[in-house]
C-alpha cells in the first residue's frame, strides 16, 4: 500500500531503555519529518530530512537521533527513554512541490 | 511566540449548525503556505487544504470553506451544516521557506446529534 508506514503502533518502554521507531514511505518523497503530539501542544517537529544523507533538528530534538540512509526510510531513535518522551509520534513525508504532508498512522509510546 | 494560534480549544455544536474554527498565524516571510488538517478519533492526520500566501481567494469544498485574510493574518475554516462525522481535532499549520511546519495546538470539535 502506498503511503507512510510506521511501526510499531504501540510501545511501552522502561526508563533508560532505547528503541527505534521505524518509518518508511514508498512514494519517493524527498522530505520526511518526525513530530510528536502531546495534549494541548499540537504537533512539534523533532527532526527532519530533505533528502537521503541530510537531516536537521526541529523544535524538540533532544533525546532523539535520526538518520536517512535511503530515500524510503527515516528511523527515529530514542537513546535513553524518559517519561517526558511519552507521546504519540508521527512520521510524515512529502515531495518538494506537494500540497501537504502525508502522515503515518502514529506510534503511541509510553515510558514508565 | 506561537507562530500559529488556535484560540478555541474545544467547540461543541449541535448537528446542522455552522461552525467556524479560527486560525491566526505569524510570519515575516512573504512566501508561505497555510494548511488545515483533520484528526478524527481514530488518530490519523488527514490533509484538508493548502493555501499559498499569494492566493487570497476563499475556497469552498462541499460543506467546508476557508477564509484567508492576510490583513488580519487569519485562515479560518467554516463547516456548514455540521455532521457528527465532523467531530475531530482540527489543526491549522504554517510552512515558511524550508521544510518546517508549525502547527497550532488544535481545536477539538464535537458535533452533538
CA distance A90 to chain B (A): 9
- Quick one: pLDDT at residue B101? 81
| Cα A92 to Cα A109: distance, rounded to the nearest angstrom | 17
pLDDT over 90, % of chain A: 85
Q: Can you tell me which residue has the cell 492526520?
A: B45
Cell triple for A23: 518509518
Q: CA angle at residue A83 from B93 to A112, to 5 degrees?
A: 130
Q: Flag if A100 and B50 touch (Cβ within 8 Å).
A: yes
Is-contact A76 A32, C-beta < 8 A? Answer: no
pLDDT over 70, % of chain A: 96
- Quick one: pLDDT at residue B1? 61
**Residue A88 bridge partners (DSSP):** A37, A108
- Quick one: pLDDT at residue A40? 80
Report the residue from B4, B6, B43 with minimal CB separation from A106: B43
Q: Flag if B100 and A105 touch (Cβ within 8 Å).
A: no
Q: Which residues of A touch B104 (CB under 8 A)?
A: 42
pLDDT over 90, % of chain B: 70
Looking at per-residue pLDDT, the higher value among A80 and B55 belongs to A80
Q: Is A47 a residue whose pLDDT tops 70?
A: yes
Q: Is A43 a residue whose pLDDT tops 70?
A: yes
Q: Is A23 a residue whose pLDDT tops 70?
A: yes
Q: Is A97 a residue whose pLDDT tops 90?
A: no
Tell me the average pLDDT of chain A: 93
Q: Can you tell me which residue has the cell 495534549?
A: A39
- Quick one: pLDDT at residue B99? 62
**Residue A39 bridge partners (DSSP):** none
Is B50 within 8 Å of chain A by CB?
Answer: yes
Cis peptide before A8 (omega within 30 of 0): yes
Interface of B with A in 78-107 (CB under 8 A): 91, 93, 99-101, 103-106
Q: Which residues of A touch B7 (CB under 8 A)?
A: none
Amino acid at each position: 500500500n502506498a503511503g507512510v508506514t510506521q511501526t510499531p503502533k504501540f510501545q511501552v518502554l522502561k526508563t533508560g531503555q532505547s528503541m527505534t521507531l521505524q518509518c518508511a514511505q514508498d512514494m519517493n518523497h524527498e522530505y520526511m519529518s518526525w513530530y510528536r503530539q502531546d495534549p494541548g501542544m499540537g504537533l512539534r517537529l523533532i527532526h527532519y530530512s530533505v533528502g537521503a544523507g541530510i537531516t536537521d533538528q526541529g523544535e524538540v530534538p533532544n533525546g532523539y537521533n535520526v538518520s536517512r540512509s535511503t530515500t524510503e526510510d527515516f528511523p527515529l531513535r530514542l537513546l535513553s527513554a524518559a517519561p517526558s518522551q511519552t507521546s504519540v509520534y508521527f512520521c510524515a513525508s512529502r515531495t518538494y512541490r506537494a500540497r501537504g504532508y502525508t502522515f503515518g498512522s502514529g506510534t503511541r509510546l509510553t515510558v514508565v | 511566540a506561537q507562530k500559529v494560534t488556535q484560540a478555541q480549544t474545544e467547540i461543541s455544536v449541535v448537528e446542522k449548525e455552522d461552525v467556524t474554527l479560527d486560525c491566526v498565524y505569524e510570519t515575516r516571510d512573504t512566501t508561505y503556505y497555510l494548511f488545515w488538517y483533520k484528526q478524527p478519533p481514530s488518530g490519523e492526520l488527514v490533509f484538508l487544504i493548502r493555501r499559498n500566501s499569494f492566493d487570497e481567494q476563499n475556497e469552498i469544498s462541499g460543506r467546508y470553506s476557508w477564509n484567508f485574510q492576510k490583513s488580519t493574518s487569519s485562515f479560518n475554516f467554516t463547516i456548514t451544516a455540521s455532521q457528527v462525522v465532523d467531530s475531530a481535532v482540527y489543526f491549522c499549520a504554517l510552512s515558511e521557506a524550508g521544510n518546517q511546519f508549525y502547527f497550532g495546538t488544535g481545536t477539538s470539535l464535537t458535533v452533538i446529534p
